[in-house]
Chains A and B, each alone.
Chain A
Amino acid sequence: MTASRLSEMKQCISIAADEACDKYVDMVSEQLEVLGYRVIIKNSIDTAPDRKADLEVILTDFSVESQLLLDVRRKNISTQVPIIFISNKDDFDAHHKAVQYGGLAFIYAKNIEEQLFDAISVALTNDEEAISVLIVDDDADLAEYHQLILESHHIEATVAHNAKDAFKLLKNTLVDIVLLDINMPDCDGFEFATMLRQLEEYVSLPIIFVSTEESLNKVKAEHDIGADDFLAKPVSDKCLLEAVKARAARTRVLRQFMIRDSATMLLNHTSFKKELGKQVARCQRQDLNFSYVLLDLDRFKNINDSYGHTAGDIVLKSFSHLLRTRLRNTDIIGRYGGEEFAVIFLDTETEMAKQVVDELLEKFSHMPFQVDGQQFFVSFSGGIADYKSYPSASSVVKAADAALYQAKDNGRAQVVIADGKES
């Protein structure tokens, strides 16, 4: 990890908006500028995206005819630039139109205050995590052929030749979809699918059965099976890719709702704890280290009391956004609850983690927040402990918590490393 990754990476966002959206643009650019973005506002779009900007967003209100809306309709813009539609109407036709024009998001004007920043934040995060598929087939040649096809289309694929190995792989890796052969020795595909459906963590895992037409018909006739799709062998490359992509997109969306905190889109407490457990196991196996950081916004209750809950929300969202965009993709970030957050820095010693968190603190505590003309600043305190000194989930959490308490006690707005002693 390089310490410089937090240093000046001022991003530039170009927002093209029609006149009807002007007031929304002012509101959201203020929030974005607080976060350190430079915002360019335009009233029209060129066919080529703005090269100066890291991201272009189009805001358009289609209850009002505008040149921008005409351009969106005429040119195939949605493939290049995320479009956020804002409408005074919340009916079927409005939503339908937004989809037809290729909109990334639809916001009902009444909810604009809560939703616009989130929509832009989603566009910025650019979550292009690869889809991950587990192929379970005792025919090694066929399994590897399917793996090759998927991988050549940037889909991660792992192969298991029997149900037992597949079960082990599922426990250790994040899988979006299972492609499951039916006729396998020992435990067949049908038994394996039934087994997975009896386990809570796999209830919603999409399973696509892949077998000869005859086997599929037999299974469909005899069992009420929890399958999401059936692909008859021989499967054409096109069918394989289409089935996988369609399932993956849906799973992604559902999973986000299940594992993330809706206000900040960070991992919720339960999923974060699970992730911590996984990392402890990984570090134990491979003799690695991670730093665990607990962060708590200073005097947050005062912000809510003095400036209202909307101000509190903006602070929470801005802080989460900062964590999401300024840390590495491999860092695991969660909202612990209230104003408390936690980060797992993989393969990172405490000193390096402290350097990164100190830079975050420097950046965040200088962000001016504004409510009704009043300006205020917010800081946070942090506690850090590492797995090597505290080799279990509970002890590392406890040590980071004690260090955080120490930071608060020392006067807040600082980050403290646990002293390595069991408390």
Chain B
Amino acid sequence: MRNYGGKLMQTNPEFERKLQKLRERYIHNVAENLIIFKAFYAALASEQAIDDELKGEVIMRAHKLAGSAKTFSFDELHERAVSVEKALNESESPDLKDKVDELIEAIKRIKL
């Protein structure tokens, strides 16, 4: 089997099957973030005031991705999510828009 992110090796076929299913579901769920991140990117691009609720939602989702992506062996997605989360927690982050864009691209790239 693939060695998921330096994880313990498993050879049990039942385990493999369940893991595969979880990964498929994870990819599906990650893709559902796109709509929010795209909306946030559009708001940043328009240079208008950002809605607090939207910002809160983006922080929460970036935080979640930062915590889970590496576990499912999506290292690049993990890095992108971490940098967006960090940028959002800083008072000023001029390249936030680019970072969000990179995160969107990373989400689009993930597949089995």
Contacts and interface: CB of A to CB of B under 8 A. Distances in A.
B22 A233 contact: no
Nearest to A211: B67
B19 A142 contact: no
A214 B8 CA distance: 26
B83 to A, nearest CB: 12
B22 A141 contact: yes
A207 to B, nearest CB: 18
B80 interface: no
Contact of B5 (A141, A144, A236): A236
Contact of A234 (B60, B63, B70): B70
B72 A212 contact: no
Contacts of B5: 234, 236
A212 B89 CA distance: 14
A141 B67 contact: no
Interface in B82-103: 82, 85-86, 89
A139 B8 contact: no
Given A141-B26, A212-B63, A234-B78, A152 B12 contact: yes
Contacts of A141: 22, 25-26, 29, 68, 72
A144 B68 CA distance: 11
Contact of A152 (B6, B10, B82): B10
A222 to B, nearest CB: 15
Interface in A127-147: 139-142, 144-145
B22 A234 contact: no
Could you tell me the dominant secondary structure of chain A's interface residues? Answer: helix
Given A145-B22, A148-B18, A183 B71 contact: no
B13 to A, nearest CB: 12
Contact of B67 (A140, A185, A234, A241): A234
Contacts of B15: 148, 152
Given A212-B63, A212-B66, A212-B67, A145 B8 contact: no
A136 to B, nearest CB: 14
Interface string B1-31: 0000111101010010011001001100100
A51 interface: no
B16 to A, nearest CB: 10
A114 interface: no
Contact of A139 (B68, B82, B85): B68
Contacts of B10: 152
Contact of A145 (B12, B60, B63, B71): B71
Nearest to B70: A234
A238 interface: yes
Given A139-B64, A141-B29, A142-B71, A236 B6 contact: yes
Contacts of A149: 7-8
A233 B67 contact: yes
A144 B29 CA distance: 13
A237 interface: yes
B34 interface: no
Contacts of B69: 234
A235 interface: yes
Given A148-B15, A148-B18, A183-B60, A234 B6 contact: no
A240 to B, nearest CB: 10
A144 B22 contact: yes
Contacts of A152: 10, 12, 15
B68 A233 contact: yes
Interface in A200-259: 211-212, 214-215, 233-238, 241
A243 to B, nearest CB: 14
A145 B22 CA distance: 7
Contacts of B82: 212
A145 B67 contact: no
Contact of B8 (A144, A185, A212, A241): A241
Contacts of B12: 152
Interface in B54-80: 60, 63-64, 66-72, 78
B67 to A, nearest CB: 4
A135 to B, nearest CB: 13
Given A149-B7, A212-B63, 19 more contacts: A141-B22, A141-B25, A141-B26, A141-B29, A145-B19, A145-B22, A145-B71, A145-B72, A148-B15, A183-B60, A212-B66, A212-B82, A233-B68, A233-B70, A234-B67, A234-B70, A237-B7, A237-B8, A238-B7
Q: Which 4 A-B pairs have the closest CB atoms?
A: A234-B70, A233-B67, A142-B68, A141-B26
28 contacts: A141-B22, A141-B29, A141-B72, A142-B68, A145-B22, A145-B26, A145-B71, A145-B72, A148-B15, A148-B18, A148-B19, A149-B8, A152-B12, A183-B63, A183-B64, A185-B60, A212-B66, A212-B85, A214-B85, A214-B89, A215-B63, A233-B67, A233-B70, A234-B68, A234-B78, A235-B71, A236-B6, A238-B7
